[in-house]
Amino acid sequence: MAVIKELRGFTPRIGDNCFLAETAAIIGDVTMGDNCSIWYGTVLRGDVNTITIGNNVNIQDGAVVHTLYQRSKTIIGDNVSIGHNATIHGAIIEDSCLIGMGATVLDNAVVESGAIVAANALVTSGMRVESGFIYAGVPAKKIKEVSKEQQEEIIQRIANDYIMYASWYREDVKTEN
């Protein structure tokens, strides 16, 4: 079972039909919507400020979500995928976004709806990632528009796939001899 820890009077609130991997840690002032999946080695540390997560969000293996004490909160919208080993620190990720593997999104940055932050990109503090564009690099820069096909094939498909993957972990495993 995942580590779910009350801290400073805050107990994490988990929505319906969520998968929490056994090695995930959800601490303090964290609110999560429905149909979310928090994968192995992921840490949601709401010890110093609020973390709010919408519906149908997947936060993949090894990711870290945190905030700044009294200076930034993390807000993640609906249908968001946060890739393996990504770091979200005190940022706003709006609806239907993809944050690539190893990407970092820092305090008071905003990733607008329908944007993609490429793998290993660095979105610096206070930066705004525009809706409908892909940002890549260190620091992240706008590189191209997200096509309608990319929105459906990448952003929506990954969010939906992770709902399916999480269901596999809730089913009883039966083997035939």
Q: Span 147-169, mean pLDDT?
A: 92
Percent of the chain with pLDDT over 70: 96
Q: What is the pLDDT of residue 40?
A: 98
Q: What is the pLDDT of residue 174?
A: 40
End-to-end CA distance of the chain: 29
Q: Span 93-98, mean pLDDT?
A: 98
* Cβ 150 vs Cβ 116: under 8 Å: yes
* Cβ 18 vs Cβ 37: under 8 Å: yes
- Please name which of 40, 52, 130, 142 lies closest in space to residue 88, comparing C-alpha atoms: 52
- The residue whose two tokens read 């690539």 is 100
Percent of the chain with pLDDT over 90: 90
* Cβ 75 vs Cβ 68: under 8 Å: no
Banded model confidence at residue 153, pLDDT cuts 50, 70, 90: confident
Which listed CATH number (1.25.40.10, 3.10.270.10, 3.10.20.520, 2.160.10.10) goes with 3-170?
2.160.10.10
- pTM value? 0.94
Mean predicted lDDT score pLDDT of the chain = 94
- CB count within 10 Å of CB 38 equals 30
- Please name which of 109, 28, 120 lies closest in space to residue 74, comparing C-alpha atoms: 109
Q: How far apart are CA 60 and CA 39, in angstroms?
A: 5
Q: What is the pLDDT of residue 171?
A: 60
